[in-house]
Amino acid sequence: MQREKSIDARVRACKFYAKNQGIEIINIYADKAKTGTTVKRRTEFLQMIEDSKKGNFNVVLVHVLNRFARDGFDTLKYKQELERNGVTLISITEKLDNTPEGRLMLMVIAGMNEFYSANLKTEVMKGLKENAYNGKHTRGKPPLGYDVDKETKMLVINPFESEAVKLIFSMYLDGMTYGQIIMVLNERGFTTKVGQQFGNNSINSILKNPKYAGTFAYGRAKPKDMDGKRSGFKNDNAEDIIKIEGLVPSLVSKEDFDRVQECMKIRKHKAAKHRAKRTYLLSGKIYCGECGSVYVGNCRPERSDHPEYLSYRCNNKTKRPRCKGWEIRLETLESMVLTELSNIVFNDELIPKLADGYHRYLMEQNNDGMITQQSIKAQINKVQKDIDKLVSAILNTSSDSNSLVKKVNELDNQKRELTEQLYKKEANCKIKTLTEEELLHSFTQAREMLKQENYLQ
């Protein structure tokens, strides 16, 4: 929130001081719109400390000491580091000489700056908590599905985004995975609050946000650490969390929100075999006869009343109006499709055609590779000729030949890189071709393997 004019005014004051004292300005280091509480993320400040080691300057000017650092430890630490590098820190509005009185004043000012920063943080947090008790949005972008009323600072429903939120809760309760939910959202043109495509983390945070059930919650994440970084983890201290019912217009019912939380706990604590990623071979490759949308894989987790159920169903099954296309068990559909595929691909009469096409493909690849190899060899020969000329020039010159030697080294490196490229191209062209008998044998083995795995009927 810092204004540009405030920085310009401080820079102007430092320049005026430097002119009166006969100091030449070498560089200006200004961390714009960054907190002075910690120096960890102040790139310009840290660059200034690094540059001080090079001996480029011997004085650092600041308008006031709290522009150098707010933390008392940082103030003393980095002032001492500057002094080790032969650099003097000067505050143009405060007297900080190297006398006992000056050092005492430095301690007092550093302590007061740290107190001011900590006290300001406390007061700001008081204001934020008071806003939270009144249901006002505290900071940053509002959650997806909401906007902030400019006058009241309260959350109001965003009609378009709210449909995405309702859809996410509905699909999750229908047993869809995060990946399937994301696919549907992308198809319908929904994005996150910042205009990006959804990911697993964004879906997870939406499903856990109590605001969607009408509960205003503040302080759920851990506060910043001593370096000013947010951890993003859940705040374990219940006393720091503010929760007030009815201050936010709800997008889902309290019952559905609680059901989602319960489902998330069940999925999280399932055995590893149930949490393993499933491979849906036909997802996105089958089209619904009712509405024309693609079929996607679906998993209904194991429960007390039924075992795990893997299936394919229309992508519009969970949308409104819901598609009436059939849901088909995974084993049934994949077995049927793979059996039909094996009858075509593993057909003995088709082997000669497959072998012929395979060989023609390899020849095309090898031809392209041969042309590339010839080009690389020509480049290597040219580089070698240039090297020979330079070596001859070095031997026949009596003057300084450092530049010629440097050029030879560069060409030698270039030759080495080209030689490595040539070896790779030659290796790629040495692909073993298969005879019809070998191809038939490989396909027979594949067919038997699929039968053993019960993929084929």
Q: Which two structure tokens, joined as six digits, stand for 44?
A: 């310009």
Q: Write the CB contacts of 177 (distance below 8 Å, at least 6 apart in sequence).
A: 298, 299
At residue 276, the pLDDT reads 45
At residue 24, the pLDDT reads 92
At residue 125, the pLDDT reads 56
Cα separations (Å) of 212 from 76, 162, 233, 412?
48, 9, 20, 65
At residue 86, the pLDDT reads 92
At residue 115, the pLDDT reads 61
3-class SS string, the chain: CCCHHHHHHHHHHHHHHHHHHCCCCCCCCCCCCCCCCCCCCCHHHHHHHHHHCCCCCCEEEECCHHHCCCCHHHHHHHHHHHHHCCCEEEECCCCCCCCHHHHHHHHHHHHHHHHHHHHHHHHHHHHHHHHHHCCECCCCCCCCCEEECCCCCEEEECHHHHHHHHHHHHHHHCCCCHHHHHHHHHHCCCCCCCCCCCCHHHHHHHHHCHHHHCEEEECCECCCCCCCCCCCCECCCHHHCEEEECCCCCCCCHHHHHHHHHHHHHHHCCCHHHHCCCCCCCCCCCECCCCCCEEEEEEECCCCCCCCEEEEEECCCCCCCCCCCCCEEHHHHHHHHHHHHHHHHCCHHHHHHHHHHHHHHHHHHHHHHHHHHHHHHHHHHHHHHHHHHHHHHHHHCCCCCHHHHHHHHHHHHHHHHHHHHHHHHHHHCCCCCCCHHHHHHHHHHHHHHHHHCCCCC
| Residue owning tokens 């001859």 | 392
- The domain ranges of the chain are 4-132, 146-269, 278-331, 348-452
- What topology is assigned to 4-132 in CATH? Rossmann fold (3.40.50)
Residue type, 101: E
- Rounded distance, CA 34 to CA 341, Å? 62
Whether the Cβ atoms of residue 328 and residue 314 lie closer than 8 Å to each other: no
- Rounded distance, CA 125 to CA 118, Å? 11
Q: Nearest to residue 68, comparing CAs of 38, 99, 112, 108?
A: 38
b/e code 373-411 from CB counts within 10 Å (16+ = b): beebeebbeebeebbeebeeeeeeeeeebeebeebbeeb
At residue 144, the pLDDT reads 92
| Residue owning tokens 């002119």 | 19
Cα separations (Å) of 362 from 91, 187, 370, 434?
74, 38, 12, 10
| Residue owning tokens 């522009």 | 67
Cα separations (Å) of 36 from 11, 13, 117, 225?
17, 20, 9, 15
At residue 2, the pLDDT reads 47
Write the CATH number of the domain with boundaries 146-269. 3.90.1750.20
pLDDT in tens, the chain (457 residues): 445 556 788 888 889 889 999 999 989 988 775 555 566 778 888 888 889 998 889 999 988 777 777 676 777 788 888 888 999 888 887 777 666 666 666 666 666 656 655 655 555 555 555 555 555 666 678 889 989 888 877 888 999 999 999 999 999 988 888 888 998 898 888 999 888 889 888 999 899 888 898 887 765 455 555 455 554 445 444 455 566 676 788 899 989 999 998 888 877 765 444 444 567 888 878 899 988 888 988 887 776 677 888 899 998 887 767 888 889 998 888 888 888 877 777 677 777 777 777 777 766 666 666 667 778 888 888 888 888 888 777 777 765 667 777 787 888 888 888 887 776 666 655 555 566 676 667 766 666 666 665 655 5
